[in-house]
Structures are given as structure tokens and as C-alpha cells.
Structure 1
Amino acid sequence: MYCQECGALLVAKKNHQRKQRHQWWPVLGVAIVLVIAGLWWVKQQSPRAQHIPVKVARQSQSAPPASAPKPAPTPTLPTKQLQQIAQKTVLAVPGTNSVYVKKFATAGTYVANNRPQRAASVIKLFIMATAFQQIAAGKFTLNEPYTLTAADKVGGSGVMQGFSVGTKVTLAQVMQYMMDDSDNVASNIMLAKVGGLAAVNAECRHIGTKDTIMARKLMDMQALAAGHDNMTSVADLGKLLSKLYQHRLVSPAADTQMLALLAQNKNHTKLPAQLTGAKVYNKTGEFGDYGVQNDAAIIANDHGAFVAVVLAQGGAQQAQIQAQSNFGAQVYAQLLSR
């Protein structure tokens, strides 16, 4: 049975509790406000909270630094112009003629009719390279003495064939006679010193030549009659001279010595004949019986340097020499006049 008195008491109790809760809300609100105010006051008293004017560097409005400039493109060899020069000069005369031109610090190479041809005395470049390779390896020195024998005497170019048997020279003198006077006696002495034909051919392979082979000693006419001759190509000679000038053939010291020898070569009747003010490092080769007129040269001035090689055989001597002289002068004007 429902008790009205008990119900009334229960309702009154709940209303009282509700009233008590409502009375706490203002107190709680005041307490929260006081806590927040206290925290703000503490923060304001902290030194780090004090306002200290600081100058802030203004970010630069200038453009970001430019990247490094791109290197200028490598100039290209004017092969079309060189072809025109060659066709009007060395390729215009009768005979088997081939040409190679390379300018240093320039992209490209001009080559015409590259093929194995009779080397004549330009083969001495490869004997020289073999000797300096062995000198660098410590196998011998150019200070060593040599005594001339009767068996050393051969004909052709050079001065040593006129020396008396028993004449004493150094290998440095032999090397100089070989390169500057194109001396055949000196060449055969140096050839024997380095180990003969096989040693020179091994060095040719080391250099990276494709058409060069030494098949006989200088003035070995018996071997020549049997069909054995020394052969090379304009590309092989161009590779040797390019490596030499860039000091990448044997070593910087050895290459410098070899260039000094070539600078003293006495035969400038072909490629450099018309040049003035140029530095020339060259080696020629001649073999009249086969119409051979060869020249392999490095030509330089203040504007740069280039390699030029011409091999000619089966033609008339004077026509070949004049054509090579004209070719050298015109290539020089084209490549090093500016």
C-alpha cells in the first residue's frame, strides 16, 4: 500500500539534494576562475614571459643564388673543311695516299683512306717508344756506352755509317742519331738493345695500334725482297703522337724526353715546310724505290696543337712533297690561326 507520507518525504529529500548541488556550481565556477587567474599571474612574473623586443632578421627577398654555369661545349673539328683541303692537296696527287688530323681539346678526327702502308723511317717512332718503355721499367739507361762494330754498318740515311769501327758512343747519342738524323745504323743498334722485332711489335700492341708491324731491320733488303716490310697506318701514328703529346704514352718524364727529340728533327720539308712561328715535333720517312713520302707531326702554337699524319706511296716524290707542304700550311691556317 502506497504511503503518502513516505512519498512526500522521499520527494522532499530529492529536492533538497538537488538544491544542494545547484548551490555548489557558483562556488566551483569561482574556484576555476581563481585558478586560471593564478596561473596567468605566475606566468607573467616569469622572466621568460616578460616581453623583450627582439629584432627578427628579415628574410632576404633576393633571388636564390644561381647554379654554377655549365661548361662551354667542346668545339668540333671542322672535318668538312679538312676534307676539302685534303682533296685539293695530298689526295689529289697520284699514288696511295692517306691522311689523319686531330686537334687537341676538340671533338672529332678527320681520317681519309686509313690502311696499312709502307712505314719507311716513321717506324723509328715505335722503336723509340719501345726503348723508353724499357728504360722506364729499369731494363737499361741511355747513359750506357756502346762500341760500334763492322756488323752495325748499313747504308741509307744517317751519319753513323761513316764512323770508324770501335767508335764509342752512349745510347743517348744513338737515340738522338736515330730520331734527329733518321740514322739507320743507330736504329738497328737500338732495335737490338730493346730485344728485336718481337719487342717492338709487343709495344705496338700495348699502345693499341691495329696496322703496325715491324717485319725487318732497317736496310734489310733480303727480307724486303722476300716480302717482309715494316707497315703502319695514319691512324696508328696519330694514336701514338696523340698519347705522346698528352703525356700518356710511357710517363710524363719519358714523354717529355721523346718530344724533345722530335723537336730537334732536321727534316721539315713536308708538313711544316711553309710554317713560321709554329712548334713542330715530327718524324718523316722516305723510300724512293717505292715512291714513299711520309710525315707524322705534332704542330703547335699559342692557339693550340694538332696531329697531322700523311702517308704516301707509289707517286712522284716532288708532287707528294709539295702536296704535303700545302696541306700542312692550309690545315695550320684552318686550325691554329685564331
Structure 2
Amino acid sequence: MIKEKVMEEIKTIDEDISIVIKDLTNNQWILKYKEEEVFPSASLIKIPIMIEALYAVQNGEYKLDEKIKIKESDRVEYSLISELKLGEYPLIDLITLMIILSDNTATNILIELLGYHRINEGIKKLDCKNTVLRRKMMDFQAAKEGRENMTSPMDMAIVMEKIYNKSIIDLESCNIMIDILTRQKHRDMLPRYILDEVTIAHKTGELSGLNHDIGIFYLENIHYLMGIFTRNGKDDLEGKRIIGKVSKLVYDLLNN
């Protein structure tokens, strides 16, 4: 019934859309629609970067409270770190700001700290086939040259489910990641039209003409995973409205 209603809804949508929905409580897929479609990842690439940073902590290479120096050359736009001008941040703060505010300076510092090769090897170990980190945030020249960060809805669903099941790194690290994801400040996509107080561990991503959001909904009667990826719409606001509308439809059906 949910699958049919969602498919009926997306028939009216002009944008390219891919959707994954899974009942995590009962370990059952509800809908996989164009789930292997490959998209520019936008800020969703920050999820595997977070995972690799916490692997480094588990391996004893860094501590969560270890201070990481910020160079002027690290600072880019769309970053609280760039605005505040502090000279160093604890590692855990960089990880948190990268996710909850999608801070681009924090992300670039973590890419520099961990390295492309290591992050991409970590992505492969997560069983992701279509996800790759090729450039830092705000490096639009690299994107023009074809060095774009990529992913697919299914890859991100695999990663989010591993975090939910606490089957990667260790229990404490997974709890840290879930806590960070539930503190997401960008709430204009999956939670857009949901007025109830509901816990959602999620991450958004957006570029011009492209909007993604994937997350885990913690309802009283059910936990479910949902990811909606859109592109080639008339504008970004419409993409966000579409994600919000489909999310609200699924929420209402599963919450009842």
C-alpha cells in the first residue's frame, strides 16, 4: 500500500527522483525506486568522512578532544568556522559541525587530515559501489573538470543502516554518529511538513538543481529509513518541497 501510494505520487513529479524506504524494525524493504542511480553526492559524502574520522579515533591515531589547528588557507564559504576565526577546534567539534551545519571548512580539514585514499578505501569497506570522494568542498574547478563526488541512494542506505544497526566501528562510535545526525539543523527536506516532534537522524545534500536527504525516523511503533534524491527540477525550492511531500506521505502512512 505504501509503495503504491508513493509511486502514484511521484508520477506527477517532473524532476528525476530516486527513493529508498526500509522498515528497519522488521528488516523489510518497502520501496526501492532507481536506487542504484548515481548522483553527485553533494554533502552526503560527509557521512563516510565522519565514519572514517571515528575509525581513526578507534585506532588510537587521534582523540575526540584533540585540538586540530585551522589554517587560513583551510577556510571556505558556507562555514561557521570561517566566520568565527578561532585557530583550533577539537576533532569532535569538526565532525559535528560537518554534519549538523554541513560546515565546508570542517569537512575540508577532515579530508586533509585523513586523505582521499583512506576515505575512499573506507567507503569500499562499507560495501558502497557508487560512492567516491574526488574533491574538497567548494572546489568548483575540480567539479568542472569532472572530479565530482558521487554516490547513490542504495549506497547511502547501506551506510545509514550500518550506523543504525551499530555494525561498524564500535558501539560508542555509532551512538556518537546517531546523536550527531539527530542534531541536524537543516530541516527543510525530509522533516519539512512533519509538525510532530519526531527524532530523525539524517543528512542533507544540495547543489544547484539537486537535492538529497536520507535519514532514520525513530517513531514509537516503527523505525524506518528513507532517502529521497532529486535533480533536474525547475528550482531547488521545488526539489525540497517534493522531498518534504513524499516524506510526509510515508510518515503519515507508517505512523498510523
- Is residue 2:248 matched to residue 1:329? yes
Match of 2:184 in 1: 265
AA matched with 1:237: M
- Ranges in structure 1 where 5+ consecutive residues have no aligned partner: 1-79
Q: Which moved more, 1:94-103 or 1:228-237?
A: 94-103
CA distance in 2, matches of 1:94, 1:184: 30
| Aligned counterpart in structure 1 of residue 130 of structure 2, from 208, 211, 230 | 211
TM-score (normalizing by structure 2): 0.93
Runs of 4+ in 1 over 2 A off after TM superposition: 80-84, 91-96, 105-108
Match of 1:301 in 2: 219
If you compute each CA radius of gyration, which structure gives the higher value, 1 or 2?
Answer: 1
CA distance in 1, matches of 2:129, 2:59: 24
The Cα of 1:87 is off from its aligned counterpart by: 3.9
The Cα of 1:135 is off from its aligned counterpart by: 1.2
Q: What do the CA deviations read for 1:263-316 (whole angstroms, capped 9, x no partner)?
A: 11101111112221311111001112xx01110111111112101001111112
Matches within 5 A, 1:49-198: 80-89=1-10, 92-109=12-29, 110-114=31-35, 115-155=37-77, 157-164=78-85, 167-194=87-114, 196-198=115-117
Matches within 5 A, 1:10-29: none
CA distance in 2, matches of 1:277, 1:112: 28
Bigger relative CO (Cα 8 Å, ≥ 6 apart): 2
The Cα of 1:107 is off from its aligned counterpart by: 4.5
- Ranges in structure 2 where 5+ consecutive residues have no aligned partner: none
CA distance in 1, matches of 2:231, 2:4: 20
Match of 2:232 in 1: 314
Indicate conservation of the 8 Å contact 1:240/1:249, yes or no: no
Which of the pair is proportionally richer in strand?
2
Query: Would the alpha carbon gap of residues 137 and 274 (structure 1) be closer, same or farther in structure 2, given more than 3 Å must change?
Result: same
CA distance in 2, matches of 1:144, 1:92: 50
3-state SS of paired residue (2:223): strand
Match of 1:41 in 2: none
AA matched with 2:116: L
The Cα of 1:193 is off from its aligned counterpart by: 1.5
Residue-pair matches, total:
252
CA distance in 1, matches of 2:170, 2:12: 39
The Cα of 1:249 is off from its aligned counterpart by: 2.3
- Is residue 2:205 matched to residue 1:285? yes
Indicate conservation of the 8 Å contact 1:293/1:311, yes or no: yes
AA matched with 1:225: K
Match of 1:224 in 2: 143
The Cα of 1:200 is off from its aligned counterpart by: 1.2
The Cα of 1:158 is off from its aligned counterpart by: 2.4
Q: What do the CA deviations read for 1:146-188 (whole angstroms, capped 9, x no partner)?
A: 2221110112x22112132x62221121111111110000001
The Cα of 1:92 is off from its aligned counterpart by: 3.4
AA matched with 1:154: V
Q: What do the CA deviations read for 1:226-268 (whole angstroms, capped 9, x no partner)?
A: 1110110110111111111111122111000000101111011
Indicate conservation of the 8 Å contact 1:296/1:310, yes or no: yes
Query: Would the alpha carbon gap of residues 241 and 180 (structure 1) be closer, same or farther in structure 2, given more than 3 Å must change?
Result: same
3-state SS of paired residue (1:97): strand
3-state SS of paired residue (1:312): strand
AA matched with 2:76: V
Match of 1:201 in 2: 120
The Cα of 1:82 is off from its aligned counterpart by: 2.2
Match of 1:34 in 2: none
The Cα of 1:86 is off from its aligned counterpart by: 4.0
The Cα of 1:85 is off from its aligned counterpart by: 1.5
